């Protein structure tokens, strides 16, 4: 008996031995520093958590807040996170014993004909018999080779991936809201410029009409003024269409329902902020290249996928090995209900079984090879995600720099064209030049003002793009890893340093 207990204890102790490779982070050749750029500052990162607030636009803040709560893509990711959390709960439960309650009631009548030929002295049953039983059944799989442990490890990694994927979707949605909002403000600005230009064209046409009727100018000049007026008037519907289209896009991003989208003529955006009044952050906090891997949620989601795929190899290898199952039953059985709980009706049994593949004709090996191929795919996707992330930062830094230079150049252009128009109108009034020179200056001013609005928009979008490329805020909302695991009633997974870093670095240290 002592030998049996010792053997059982050794068997249970072997449950912590997991087959398959442990996770090791893929090696990535990272730069030591970013290219020198005045945009990067050493300011505290906590101040940039809600990075869109740096544009100092209350309407934008409200839109982002609603999008974070009602956007359908974010809600879909939240549902996927719930699924991953439930799968982790299942994986944890698989490591625990099962306790079942079993109740049976049977009534039968033996066949006398089937009992003929039995030994002498045995009288076949001819009556009807009852049998009642009530028992508890305990089952437990001893995790000899770590199959269940690896399954739980994979489920934990998949939960991390869901958390980070939700953060990535949230970041993308917020960036889309910010960019679309800037596009809308630009379209509104361009509509205002065109409407103001239309009023100017109308005044010019009326003035030329008075001069024509007074014989001070010819019909050609009058018709040129009229043609320019109608050309400007024709642009108004297109500008309005652009504004309404962007309002609809913004409505979808912030999670408006179909009835809300169809019920409005002009989206209520609160007090209108002029495009030129939106604040432009001059700097973003400094960030080492190595820290980008922890700040970008898409990179962290890709790394969690590698962790899950690595654990999947262990699951596949453990499936090729025997499984040890323990079972115990304790209950009562009697032919009469009144005798069920008597001492004579007690019954019990204990047992163990070992089962494993003997000849599977390569099924197990194919499963391991499949898991290894999936892990290699995950590692490759991770490396590709990291490369794309650094390229996006590089492009975003360059875009920010060039967009600033373009804004300044077009501002100078607008000032020069305004002076040109003033001089052209003065010289035309004095009769030194023809009306066509005035029209050319007016067209140039309209084009320059429209281009300036686009350049300011590009500058704002370049800043938002850089925030997005660097991982958005520098402290994630409470949808992160710690909360995800706390809902399961336990802490984030412990293991090698990389696992702890991935699971616990969801909030920046500042």
What's the pLDDT tens digit per position in 69-100?
888 888 888 888 888 888 888 888 888 888 88
On whether residue 10 sits in a domain, the answer given is: no
What does the alpha-carbon distance between residue 154 and residue 220 come to, in Å, rounded to a whole number?
Answer: 80
End-to-end CA distance of the chain: 60
Confidence of residue 369 (pLDDT cuts 50, 70, 90): very high
Q: What is the DSSP string of 444-473?
A: HHHHHHHHHHHHHHHHHHHHHHHHHHTTSS
On whether residue 197 sits in a domain, the answer given is: yes
**Helix-helix angle 147-213:58-70, to 10 degrees:** 140
Residue 255: how many CB atoms within 10 A of its CB?
18
* Residue 150 · residue 18 · CB < 8 Å: yes
On whether residue 119 sits in a domain, the answer given is: no
Structure tokens at 235: 């642009």
Structure tokens at 446: 């309209």
What does the alpha-carbon distance between residue 424 and residue 420 come to, in Å, rounded to a whole number?
Answer: 6
On whether residue 315 sits in a domain, the answer given is: no
Counting Cα atoms < 13 Å in the Cβ hemisphere of 310 gives 19
What does the alpha-carbon distance between residue 499 and residue 158 come to, in Å, rounded to a whole number?
Answer: 13
Nearest C-alpha neighbor of 44 from the set 508, 471, 460: 508
Domain of 433, in residue numbers: 30-92+152-308+377-504
What's the pLDDT tens digit per position in 423-472?
988 888 887 888 888 888 888 999 999 999 999 999 999 888 888 888 87
What's the pLDDT tens digit per position in 116-144?
665 655 555 556 788 888 888 999 888 88
**Residue 124 DSSP one-character state:** P
What is the pLDDT, as a whole number, of residue 2?
Answer: 41
Nearest C-alpha neighbor of 461 from the set 399, 407, 408, 406: 399
What is the pLDDT, as a whole number, of residue 37?
Answer: 52
Percentage of the chain surpassing pLDDT 90? 21
Could you tell me the maximum CA-CA distance found in the chain, to the nearest angstrom? 143
Residue 82: how many CB atoms within 10 A of its CB?
13
Residue 356 CA from chain centroid, whole number: 41
3-class SS of residue 296: coil
CATH of the domain at 170: 1.20.1600.10
Report the pLDDT averaged over residues 318-328: 89
What does the alpha-carbon distance between residue 223 and residue 329 come to, in Å, rounded to a whole number?
Answer: 103
Q: pTM, whole model, 2 decimals?
A: 0.77
Residue 7: how many CB atoms within 10 A of its CB?
10
On whether residue 489 sits in a domain, the answer given is: yes
On whether residue 464 sits in a domain, the answer given is: yes
Structure tokens at 381: 């996707």
What does the alpha-carbon distance between residue 502 and residue 311 come to, in Å, rounded to a whole number?
Answer: 15
Task: Report which of residues 283 and 348 the model is more confident about.
Answer: 348
Cα 281–286–288 angle (5° rounding)?
Answer: 145
Show the DSSP H helices in 50-94 as ranges.
58-70, 72-94
* Residue 289 · residue 33 · CB < 8 Å: yes
What does the alpha-carbon distance between residue 246 and residue 253 come to, in Å, rounded to a whole number?
Answer: 11
Residue 42: CB partners within 8 Å, gap ≥ 6?
285, 286
What is the pLDDT, as a whole number, of residue 484?
Answer: 52
Cα Rg, the chain, nearest whole Å? 37
| Mean pLDDT score across all residues of the chain | 80
What does the alpha-carbon distance between residue 155 and residue 172 come to, in Å, rounded to a whole number?
Answer: 25
Confidence of residue 414 (pLDDT cuts 50, 70, 90): very high
pLDDT at residue 503 is higher than 70: no
The conformational region for residue 91 under phi > 0 = left, psi -120 to 50 = alpha, else beta, is: alpha
The length of the chain in residues reads 510
What does the alpha-carbon distance between residue 416 and residue 422 come to, in Å, rounded to a whole number?
Answer: 10
Burial 472-507 (b: 16+ CB within 10 A, else e): bbbbbeebbbeebbeebeeebbeeeeebeebbebbe
Q: How many domains does the chain have?
A: 1
pLDDT at residue 14 is higher than 50: no
Task: Report which of residues 91 and 289 the model is more confident about.
Answer: 91
What is the pLDDT, as a whole number, of residue 252?
Answer: 87
What's the pLDDT tens digit per position in 147-161?
888 999 999 999 988
Which region among 42-56, 61-75, 223-237 has the lowest average model confidence (pLDDT)?
42-56
* Residue 67 · residue 253 · CB < 8 Å: yes
pLDDT at residue 367 is higher than 80: yes
Report the pLDDT averaged over residues 205-233: 87
Cα 329–332–335 angle (5° rounding)?
Answer: 135
What does the alpha-carbon distance between residue 301 and residue 293 come to, in Å, rounded to a whole number?
Answer: 10
Nearest C-alpha neighbor of 75 from the set 287, 268, 257, 321: 257
pLDDT at residue 485 is higher than 90: no
What is the pLDDT, as a whole number, of residue 262?
Answer: 64
């Amino acid at each position: 008996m002592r030998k049996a207990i010792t053997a059982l204890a050794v068997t249970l102790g072997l449950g912590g031995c997991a087959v398959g490779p442990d996770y090791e982070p893929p090696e990535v050749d990272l730069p030591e520093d970013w290219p020198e750029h005045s945009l990067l500052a050493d300011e505290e990162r906590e101040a940039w958590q809600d990075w869109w607030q740096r544009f100092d636009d209350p309407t934008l803040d409200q839109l982002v807040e609603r999008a974070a709560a009602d956007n359908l893509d974010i809600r879909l990711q939240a549902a996927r996170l719930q699924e991953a959390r439930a799968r982790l709960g299942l994986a944890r439960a698989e490591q625990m014993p099962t306790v079942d309650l079993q109740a049976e009631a049977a009534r039968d009548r033996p066949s006398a004909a089937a009992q003929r030929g039995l030994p002498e002295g045995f009288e076949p049953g001819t009556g009807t018999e009852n049998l009642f039983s009530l028992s508890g059944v305990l089952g437990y799989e001893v995790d000899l080779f770590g199959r269940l442990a690896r399954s739980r490890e994979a489920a934990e990694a998949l939960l991390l991936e869901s958390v980070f994927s939700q953060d990535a979707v949230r970041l993308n949605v917020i960036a889309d809201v910010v960019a679309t909002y800037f596009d809308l403000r630009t379209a509104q600005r361009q509509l205002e410029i065109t409407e103001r230009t239309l009023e100017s064209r109308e005044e010019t046409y009326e003035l030329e009409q008075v001069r024509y009727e007074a014989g001070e100018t010819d019909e050609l000049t009058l018709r040129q003024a009229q043609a320019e007026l109608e050309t400007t008037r024709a642009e108004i519907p297109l500008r309005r269409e652009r504004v309404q289209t962007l309002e609809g896009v913004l409505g979808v991003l912030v999670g408006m329902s179909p009835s809300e989208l169809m019920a409005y003529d002009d989206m209520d955006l609160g007090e209108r902020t002029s495009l030129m009044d939106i604040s432009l952050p001059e700097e973003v906090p400094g960030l080492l290249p190595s820290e980008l891997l922890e700040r970008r949620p898409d990179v962290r989601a890709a790394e969690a996928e590698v962790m899950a795929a690595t654990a999947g190899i262990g699951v596949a290898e453990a499936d090729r090995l025997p499984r040890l199952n323990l079972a115990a039953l304790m209950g009562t059985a009697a032919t009469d209900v009144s005798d069920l709980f008597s001492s004579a009706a007690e019954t019990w049994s204990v047992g163990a079984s070992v089962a494993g593949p003997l000849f599977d004709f390569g099924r197990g090996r194919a499963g391991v090879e499949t898991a290894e191929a999936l892990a290699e795919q995950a590692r490759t996707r991770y490396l590709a995600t990291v490369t794309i992330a650094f390229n996006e930062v590089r492009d975003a830094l360059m875009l920010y720099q060039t967009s600033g230079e373009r804004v300044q150049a077009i501002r100078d252009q607008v000032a020069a064209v305004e002076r040109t128009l003033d001089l052209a109108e003065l010289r035309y009034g004095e009769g030194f030049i023809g009306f066509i020179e005035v029209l050319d200056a007016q067209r140039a001013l309209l084009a320059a003002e429209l281009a300036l609005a686009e350049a300011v928009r590009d500058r704002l979008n370049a800043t938002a793009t850089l925030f997005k490329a660097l991982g958005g805020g520098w402290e994630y909302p409470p949808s992160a890893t710690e909360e995800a695991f706390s809902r399961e009633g336990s802490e984030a997974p412990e293991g090698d340093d990389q696992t702890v870093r991935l699971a616990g670095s969801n909030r920046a240290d500042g």
